[in-house]
Structure 1
Amino acid sequence: MQDNESTLTGKQKRFLRALGSTLDPVVQIGKSGVMATVIESAEQALAAREIIKVRVLQNSPEEPKSAITALAGATGAVLVQVIGRNGLLYKKNEEKSKIELP
């Protein structure tokens, strides 16, 4: 279902950014880059929470923006924002949605 996957409005992105500002990173991209285990843990976290913060560590071979963009693509999530080495991903859980977008 592609209803709001890549077409979040500015208002929705602002809402998600506000939610994300208090989150701690639950997925970290390290020296191996975006690999299967990172994608898997991101998918599990997204299924449980719908919105997650991702941190790209200093030893990652990829630039933070490209690493987080790659992870968003691999998980089918929406990239809400990238600030420094942190990124915010959102993916609606169709079965049990927790976040009601404005």
Structure 2
Amino acid sequence: MQKILLGIAFALGGIITYVATRPEIHFGGIAIALFVIAFLFGLIQSKYPWLFALALGIWIPVLVLFQGFFKGLFRVQNIWAILALLIAFAGAYAGAFVRNKFTAKTR
């Protein structure tokens, strides 16, 4: 089950990155979508939230760093790319926290 979820997380991370590269998309919408999807993965599988956050959020920094080698490495977009990774981690750990809180009350 975890391998299937991890594959889905990688695919969704790629889709989010593709949507983020469109010129008419604002970073706020991407950040909200990334947080919500990471939250859901943390809620579903709370054992390894860092793994799902990394699978979802690593695509944007990798793409920005890859583009940075051709356009100039130190740009403001690099900061936003790292922020996207932090948002994915925050969402996954928030979902894991909520799941652990609810399962602790039912035991």
Whether TM exceeds 0.5 here: the answer is no
Greater relative contact order (Cα < 8 A, sep 6+)? 2
TM-score (normalizing by structure 2): 0.39
TM-score (normalizing by structure 1): 0.40
Structure showing greater radius of gyration is: 2
- Name whichever structure is richer in helix by fraction: 2
